[in-house]
Structure 1
């Protein structure tokens, strides 16, 4: 019986497969769409990203979104047009995140300093105090701060990841920054 369903499903159009996915969360329909589009989408992503690993990551993320959001997808044109458009936006988001991470890293890099013991100890002490301040934050606040500053996620992505509102994310970030400023008042002396 299952074999007949596979044969019928394999012959369906993309739109019919999407409909089965939307109505029944049909894993077979999803697998067929995945197999039909995986290589094509990875190739397109590779051309733009110049990295096989990044291309696969972006496409995998796209299919994960397709699985999670299948019930809400409404096609204006064909499924092919939809999935290629969705890939375009995933690539843009990926590139923007990569750029933001690079900019953040360049801002965090310290200017070339004399490697004297005194300066090294001051720098280590500052890093230790900063880490201690971060660890003293309430758990949710600390998690939001780390997702923002260490992982480079936007407030919207953090809200989606933690299943909380954007206002809550903003509140946690404000509290974290206020606390860190208060505990490291002399930070501006060093930078």
Structure 2
């Protein structure tokens, strides 16, 4: 659940309160920038992506529905900004190689450049959040360290006293659980492949 402070700020943002928006900006900027920097490897680019995210949020504030927590929404939205960057820059295959994607898209017939994924992204974010909520405790711990803090597998292993292989296994199982949830909700699972690019295999 979102904190009461977050909800108060967000309600004010939806009413056009720019001061409340600045409060959210100040509170989450550093966290989002750290994640973006890990993903794109360039500070100026990371700052541009996070800035663009906040511009979008302000412009779309009347239509955004926060289903779980503001932090979860912001982090999820940031990953999609990163997806969009690599997609537009035409370096998707390089990004796949970098993250050692383990999802076999060829056999499943999925396409990374799935048309219209942006249109369904709000529903997708909620599906991810619900899946994480229902994960076994250890899997959830591993997934949240990757999701919210963008730690690499070695860092997660050290934090939780696990082997890196166990971390990889938990992340893969978590991805499978999200896929099953999406299939149950009849969502396009090709979007899950995009998530794997920037979220899981790092």
Q: TM-score range by the shorter chain?
A: 0.3 to 0.5
Greater Cα radius of gyration, structure 1 or 2: 1
When normalised by structure 2's length, the TM-score is 0.43
TM-score, normalising length from structure 1? Answer: 0.45
Q: Choose between structure 1 and 2 for higher RCO, CA contacts under 8 A separated by at least 6 residues.
A: 2
